[in-house]
């Protein structure tokens, strides 16, 4: 593991402190481009094999069996209080590893489509807007400037926080 990767794993935002570009997986949600730091991404899988679980929060579509482990799957649009997008042939589940309070959890996030991995320099990342955002400000790690447009950089640990998702805690690894 490189020094940058180790620093990023040890402390979120370490790439910003080091002045090094960081890599982000970009994806689409309802026509908008979002991104999560690539170090939090474990894999991307086809949307299939979902088992619905009764009495789960509305943003939890169900669980999947990922190599013998039960992994909850969160619909990010529903998490943001929006209407979920319909499932299409481009719909994917991005498997993300979060770290909340020193505990690691693996969670799937439903996205409309995966775009690409981008490298974004710290100088091209603006702080989240203080108002007017269509999702909770604490979910946004920053706004990345890419090819003249903004990409919303999500804080995966906060967006997919187990404690906020209620009864998910018993399903995580």
Q: What is the pLDDT of residues 3-22, one digit of tens each?
A: 333 334 444 444 444 567 89
Write the CA distances from 100 to 12, 21, 90, 131, 149, integer angstroms. Answer: 12, 24, 30, 26, 31
CATH class of the domain defined by 3-170: mainly beta
Whole-model pTM: value is 0.80
The residues that bridge with 146 in the sheet, in sequence order, are 149
Q: 13-22, 93-102, 141-150: which range is least confident on average?
A: 13-22
Instruction: Give the max Cα distance, the chain.
Output: 46
In 14-148, the DSSP E strands lie at 22-29, 32-37, 41-46, 60-66, 69-75, 92-100, 103-111, 113-120, 125-126, 140-146
Q: What is the pLDDT of residues 22-51, one digit of tens each?
A: 999 999 999 999 999 999 999 999 999 899
């Amino acid at each position: 593991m490189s020094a940058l990767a180790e620093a990023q794993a040890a402390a979120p935002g370490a790439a910003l402190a080091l002045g090094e570009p960081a890599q982000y997986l970009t994806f689409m949600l309802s026509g908008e481009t979002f991104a999560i730091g690539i170090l939090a991404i474990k894999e991307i899988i086809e949307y299939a094999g979902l088992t619905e679980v009764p009495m789960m929060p509305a943003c939890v579509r169900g669980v999947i069996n990922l190599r013998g482990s039960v992994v909850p799957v969160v619909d990010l649009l529903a998490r943001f209080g929006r209407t979920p997008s319909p499932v299409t042939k481009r719909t994917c589940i991005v498997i993300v590893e979060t770290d909340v309070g020193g505990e690691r959890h693996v969670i799937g996030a439903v996205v409309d489509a995966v775009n690409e991995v981008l490298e974004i320099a710290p100088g091209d990342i603006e702080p989240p807007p203080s108002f007017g955002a269509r999702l909770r400000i604490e979910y946004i790690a920053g706004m990345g400037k890419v090819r003249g447009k903004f990409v919303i950089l999500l804080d995966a640990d906060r967006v997919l926080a187990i404690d906020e998702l209620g009864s998910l805690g018993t399903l995580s690894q």
